[in-house]
A = this chain, B = another copy of it.
Amino acid sequence: MTKFDEATQAIRVDDTTYDVCLDPGYSVGGMLNGGYLMAVILRAVVDASPHAHPVSTTAQFHRSPTPGPARVQVETLKSGRTAAFSRATLIQNDTPYIETLITTATLPETSAAAYTSTPMALMPPLSECVRLPDPKPESGMTLNAQMEMHFDPPTVGWLQGTPTGVPEARAYFRLSEPQDPDPYILALAVDALPPVVFSAGTRGWAPTVDLTWHLRALPAPGWLTVLGSGRLITDGWFDEEVEVWDSQGKLVAQSRQLARVGRG
């Protein structure tokens, strides 16, 4: 079992209850990453579903849970031949932290697209991309060690004080420990980029209010390409869209989150 699989496992207690253990190794600024937390919840939901894949996930982030034991409460709302609908809640110390609605279905191992668009942006070759400096231990950025991300250089210009002025972030992505991508890793990938508003010139903690992502196909082995952008920053709110493409040029995930602009 890989470190990621272990950190996201959900142990069935009964038909609607799963025990989980939130791993301190997936934190950003001392807060557990939303993508990691979605992966944990999805393990429970998929286990409780007759279907194999989480094709749609919406998560409302009410509070930030702490590393350690927690519980996922799963309610199957409707179960059909094509799809099943579930509600799941991440609970710690009897308090709900994350509320989700999830649609599961069973996708084919090999998908055949009737129509596909092109990526929202072209990436330079991996060899021309850059890694971020290792975070200081006191920064609480433990997530960085779990992932290997190589960034399209202009989209991390904000680190040197030269943001592009446009909300964007783009990177090649894989886990540090060798593991083929799967839907749970995609849950991590859609929330793994630095907030796209950093590139537009803002800084500081940018909390996700809610995030919806769709699994569109099962990813092929190899690097993922994670493309992030935003359409509007207004009145303290911004949207972040992420597309994930696999190594065979397939669109495998799409997300949009609504988040608050940091005051840092």
- Determine the distance from Cα of A214 to Cα of B209 in the docked complex, in whole angstroms: 12
The smallest beta-carbon distance between A104 and chain B, in angstroms, is 11
Q: A103-B258, A231-B251 are in contact. List 15 more A-B contacts (CB 8 A).
A: A56-B210, A56-B258, A58-B101, A58-B212, A108-B235, A114-B233, A115-B165, A115-B166, A115-B200, A115-B233, A212-B212, A214-B256, A216-B239, A231-B254, A232-B251
Q: Which residue of B lies closest to A97 (CB)?
A: B78
> Which residues of the other chain, B, contact A93 by a CB distance below 8 angstroms?
none
Interface status of A85 (Cβ within 8 A of chain B): yes
Is the pair B200, A60 in contact by a Cβ cutoff of 8 Å?
Answer: no
Are B55 and A107 in contact, with the CB atoms below 8 A? no
A residues adjacent to B (C-beta < 8 A): 55-56, 58, 60, 62-63, 77-78, 82-83, 85, 87, 96, 99-101, 103, 105, 107-108, 111-117, 165-167, 200, 202, 209-210, 212, 214, 216-217, 229-239, 243, 251, 254, 256, 258, 260-261
Asked if A256 and B256 make an inter-chain contact with CB atoms under 8 angstroms apart, the answer reads yes
A235 and B99: CB pair below 8 A? no
User: Which of B117, B165, B229 is in CB contact (< 8 Å) with A232?
Assistant: B117
Verify A117–B254 contact, CB threshold 8 A: no
Tell which of B62, B85, B99, B210 touches A60, judged by Cβ atoms closer than 8 Å.
B85
Q: Which residues of B contact A239 (CB under 8 A)?
A: 214, 216, 254
Most B-side CB within 10 Å, residue of A55, A56, A117, A239 = A56
| B214 engages A103 (CB within 8 Å) | no
Contact (Cβ within 8 A) A114 B200 = yes
Are A116 and B231 in contact, CB atoms less than 8 angstroms apart?
A: yes
CB-CB under 8 A from A238, the residues of chain B are 115
> Which residues on the B side are within 8 Å of A232 (C-beta)?
113, 115-117, 216-217, 251
**A235 to chain B: closest residue by CB:** B111
Task: Output the least CB separation between A217 and chain B (Å).
Answer: 6
- When distances are taken between beta carbons in the complex, the residues of chain B under 8 Å from A233 are 113-116
Bound form: Cα–Cα A100–B216 in Å: 21
Min CB gap A226→B, angstroms: 15
Contact residues in B for A55 (Cβ distance below 8 Å): 209, 237, 258
Residues of B within 8 A of A260 (CB): 82
